[in-house]
Amino acid sequence: MDFNVHRKEIKSPGGVAFELVWEKPSKDPAKVLNSPPSKDDINVEKRIKEKQIAAEERRKSMECSRQQQAQKNNQKIMEARAKAEALDKKFKEEAEVKLMEKLQRIEGNQKACKENLLLKLKEHLLSTKPCAYRIIVVNLALEHLLSTKLWPSHIIVLYLALEQDEKIEKVQKRKKVIGDIGDDGDASSTSS
């Protein structure tokens, strides 16, 4: 029996039996031939390099297109911002102009109202019975109104107060006239 050979009997799952023989490797291994690469191997390497170059070019072109798209998007964003800022600036300027016009109109109206009420007050004072006290008070009030910036409501209150004084004077005059008439009636009835 040869000691270099190993044998073993194996049964497969299907029930078939076979025998394996193992031998020790020989002392001198088989020579590997270093043959020059075949034409197919050279073509394969060329194709691989070409594919790598093409893939690199595609990668570069895609990167370039991404950058161009990003630049376009950034440019659109910048244009939109500039347009929004321009509209905002224009709106602010228009609002400021309108506000200034409105303030000037209000100021002019207040001034005209104040002058009109002062004129009415002067006319009222001239038409009523002059009283030294009233003239002094009204002159002080007019000086105060002219020197300070009062709201029209203050002027109206002063005007109404003067009108009230006038009404009181009229009522007192009527009472005096009625009293005089009543006294005259009594005097005429007693004299006859």
Residue-wise pLDDT for 27-76, tens only, equals 766 666 676 666 666 788 888 999 999 999 999 999 999 999 999 999 99
- For residue 86, being part of any structural domain is answered with no
Picking from 48, 2, 57, the residue whose alpha carbon sits closest to that of residue 24 is 2
- For residue 45, being part of any structural domain is answered with no
Does the pLDDT of residue 185 top 60, yes or no?
Answer: no
The torsion defined by the Cα of 161, 164, 170 and 176, in degrees rounded to 10, comes to: -100
For the segment 164-178, what is each residue's pLDDT rounded down to a tens digit?
667 777 777 777 777
Structural domain range at position 116 = 110-178
- For residue 135, being part of any structural domain is answered with yes
d(CA 114, CA 151): 9
According to DSSP, the residues that pair with 9 across neighbouring strands are 19
CB 21 within 8 A of CB 7: yes
Look at residue 27 and give its three-state secondary structure. coil
CA-CA-CA-CA torsion sign (120, 122, 123, 129): positive
Tokens representing 11 are 């049964």
- For residue 22, being part of any structural domain is answered with no
Q: How many domains does the chain have?
A: 1
- For residue 25, being part of any structural domain is answered with no
For the segment 103-143, what is each residue's pLDDT rounded down to a tens digit?
999 988 888 888 887 787 777 766 665 555 566 666 666 66
- For residue 121, being part of any structural domain is answered with yes
Higher per-residue pLDDT: 89 or 135:
89
